Structure 1
Amino acid sequence: MRKDWIGIPALGILLLLASFAAAQDAVEEMTQDADPRPGEMMEDTAGVEGTQLQPAVEGVPEEPGPALDVPGAITVEDKDNDAGDQLVVCFEPPADTSGVFAYNVYRRKAGETGEVSWNLVKIIPVLGPTLFIDGYDPEYPIEPGTRYEYRVASVSLEGEEYFGEPQVAQAVPAGELYHTGKTKVLIAGGLFIFLIFYYFGKAQRGRQMYLRPIAGIEAIDEAIGRATEMGKPVLYVPGLSTISDVATIASLTILGRVAKKVAQYQTPLMVPNRDPIVYTVADEAVKQAYLEAGRPDAFDPDSVFFLTDSQFAFVAGVNGIMMREKPATNFYLGMFWAESLLLAETGSLTGAIQIAGTDAVTQLPFFITTCDYTLIGEELYAASAYLGREPKQIGAVKGQDACKGIIMAFITIAFVLSILDMVADTETLEWVRRIVTVPIVD
């Protein structure tokens, strides 16, 4: 009785497994009948024979999409005020832009054949401007005097192109000798040159001209006199850059004036250098200054010396000189980098009067906070004119100051007119804008 009870569930399980296997075979047969292999002939429900089923390729639509409208006429004009390497291209967009993603503009030389001769020069979004300047792409430049042919294609979302009719450009690129849009620049440059020569002539005739005082330049004589009274040397660092730097040239000019004053006061001078060429020029400048002061015998060849060309090794050497010799006056004039704060801090610890000057904007804050006087930017360039009082240099400085005054006058007038326009709701500032506006990008 117990064995019969155990056999009943086992028989049921076997029947269940057999039913599941039969159902699986039936499903496989139905799948094979419903999905014939490519190229297999079969009859449809209507009994029509000979229907060839084509295999489906993934990613390709079974039916091509509708054709897009193509752009219309293309207008090509020569661009004014150029070197003959630019053309102004404009095309008419299609009447129906539905389905259009962008426009591809192609160009080739007139008379060329074959699809490979077309070069894609511009891709314009469907909502972008249909007028552009061709010739900026360095890979496909425009040659002056060459006629070109253009065609524009409408691009669908799928990337398909529908080309319009190619058209030969109506214009040939040609350059102009004079840029009419920069006449204002010519006038401003001519005015600047006139002012420089005007003040140069006045200085040559012996006319005394006023130059605004700069505290750092006026303090040079005082600083050298202090070193003379204390019997201590003067340290002059002409920057760490090469002779090709404008700041270095300005510094060497000032060095000649400082050396002449030092020779008159018979004060020791130390000029360490990082660059060999700067060292050579500085040595000649100091020697010439002693000669002009009437003290060539007082010149010490060891006062101007080459230290090292390594940046921070040079700084360490100069700092050691300051700590040992205790100079009463330190000059840092020229081009400086990260070493500016190290030099100025060490000089400040020795109690010396420090006069610095550089055109390096990033180093000016360190000099301003640690030095007694600082020549900022162009004040370094103007220092030689202040010290030498040479007519050419004074004329250049006065001409620059006059141009700055004119610019400040224009800014003041524009500011006043803008306030009046805001109050009276007028547009009187427009004429000022037309006067001072010049083209920046051609």
Structure 2
Amino acid sequence: MVTFLLGFTLSVLQPVTGLRGFDTPNDAGGNITLTWESPDSGKVMVEIFRSQSPLEGYQKVESVLSSRREFVDTSAIDGIKYYYYVVSIGEDGKTDRSEILGPVSSAPQWFNTKRWNVLIILILLIIIFFIFIRLAKKGTKTYIRKIPGLEALDDAVGRSTEMGKPILYVPGLWGLTNVTVLASLSILRRVAKKTADYGARILIPNAEPLVMTATQEVVKEAYLEAGRPDLYNERDIFFVTADQFGYAAGCDGIIVRERPGAIFLLGVFAAESLILAETGNSIGAIQIAGTTSTLQLPFFVASCDYTLIGEEMLAAASYLSKEPVMLGSLKGEDFAKIIVSLLIIVGTVLATLGFTRIIELLSTG
């Protein structure tokens, strides 16, 4: 009889206790975390109910296993006060409810304290950039390695002029939302200015109407800066088609008919890259290509005289202008890359040797 009563006592359903609720820390809002203590006897499920009133209108939010001790309500609306209670469901279907918790509300946090390391690195990078920009403004000589493709711009234009042939500049397929196209426009400015200085002709076929307008303005300003606005011909900067291979065919037709002495393939290119580069190579033109697409770079390297690889395209504006602030930014970026690379190498070595604390220090989760 005692054994029976003892067994019955152990299987009696007991409600959850210690129900707590709070705004989930380090989030963008909309989350409320609930925690509780849950005696294991007699329970199989726990149901969470929520309402905006402490007296009525409770609706079930979620059902979880009795082994759970925490639940995050991700459907909360910031600023609204909620009330909760938890119902324990026993093996025999009986239920028992906890005390009502509330009010609890959610709110976004200004800063995720788990990402303090990101803040420190950001501050460090800002300091590095300001130091190099300030040094550049003071006239400190800033070493930037030579980029052969950019160094050869003037020679390519001069060679084409001496041969009495036009220059062909192909800005690629993409629109003005792509940073590579914007970098290409900065290079075009230099090429167009040299073209005006030498009195040569420049042809620019476009695959995007907005890019066509932008290239027209860039070339026009370059001719004005060179003091030769009379040489500017808007008809030499034209729209071909937005179709990928139609554009490639149009450019190839120009190459074969006009036989330019210098061809610049600078922008975003895809499968048409080799078609353009091989056609230009077949007529003996000096070719300078550049793109940030790693898939197309091998074709340009094989077919062109000079190739701007990846970030060399993006650094072109700083490299060509020699403007102190831009050079300082470029130098600061390189220095920041060195620091990040060292962190990765040191972190990998320390983690391999068993110093796992470095993983926690560099983790952003």
* TM-score (normalizing by structure 1): 0.71
1:134 aligns to 2:60 (yes or no): no
Give aligned-pair identity as a percent: 40
Counterparts of 1:46-65 in structure 2 under 5 Å?
none
How far has the Cα of 1:196 moved from its partner?
2.2
For the 8 Å contact 1:85–1:143, the answer to whether it is kept is yes
1:151 aligns to 2:70 (yes or no): no
1:79 aligns to 2:24 (yes or no): yes
1:396 aligns to 2:329 (yes or no): yes
For the 8 Å contact 1:319–1:346, the answer to whether it is kept is yes
Q: Give the corresponding residue for 2:6.
A: none
Counterparts of 1:179-218 in structure 2 under 5 Å?
179-218=112-151
How far has the Cα of 1:166 moved from its partner?
5.3
How far has the Cα of 1:258 moved from its partner?
1.1
How far has the Cα of 1:257 moved from its partner?
0.8
Gaps of 5+ in 1: 1-66
Q: For the residues of structure 2 that align with 1:152 and 1:227, how far apart are their CA atoms? A: 84
Structure 2 letter corresponding to 1:319 = D
User: Per chain length, whose mean CA-contact separation is higher, i.e. which structure has more relative contact order (CA < 8 Å, sep 6+)?
Assistant: 2
| Aligned-CA RMSD value | 3.0
For the 8 Å contact 2:53–2:82, the answer to whether it is kept is yes
How far has the Cα of 1:229 moved from its partner?
3.7
How far has the Cα of 1:383 moved from its partner?
0.9
Counterparts of 1:376-387 in structure 2 under 5 Å?
376-387=309-320
Structure 1 letter corresponding to 2:59 = W
1:272 aligns to 2:187 (yes or no): no
Q: Give the corresponding residue for 2:56.
A: 113
Q: For the residues of structure 2 that align with 1:166 and 1:339, how far apart are their CA atoms? A: 69
Distance 1:96 1:367, change over 3 A: farther
How far has the Cα of 1:155 moved from its partner?
8.2
Match for residue 329 of structure 1 among 259, 262, 271: 262
For the 8 Å contact 2:16–2:86, the answer to whether it is kept is no
Q: For the residues of structure 2 that align with 1:400 and 1:123, how far apart are their CA atoms? A: 51
Higher strand share: 2
Gaps of 5+ in 2: 1-10
How far has the Cα of 1:385 moved from its partner?
0.8
Counterparts of 1:29-428 in structure 2 under 5 Å?
69=13, 72-73=16-17, 74-96=19-41, 100=44, 103-114=46-57, 117-120=58-61, 122-125=62-65, 129-135=68-74, 140-144=75-79, 146-154=81-89, 162=95, 164-165=97-98, 167-169=100-102, 171-418=104-351, 421=353, 427=355
How far has the Cα of 1:279 moved from its partner?
1.4
- Cα offsets for 1:132-163 (capped at 9, x unmatched): 3322xxxx33332513213245487x9x7845
Q: For the residues of structure 2 that align with 1:70 and 1:341, how far apart are their CA atoms? A: 74
How far has the Cα of 1:221 moved from its partner?
3.0
- Cα offsets for 1:189-217 (capped at 9, x unmatched): 22222222322222223222011233332
1:437 aligns to 2:363 (yes or no): yes
Q: For the residues of structure 2 that align with 1:280 and 1:155, how far apart are their CA atoms? A: 73
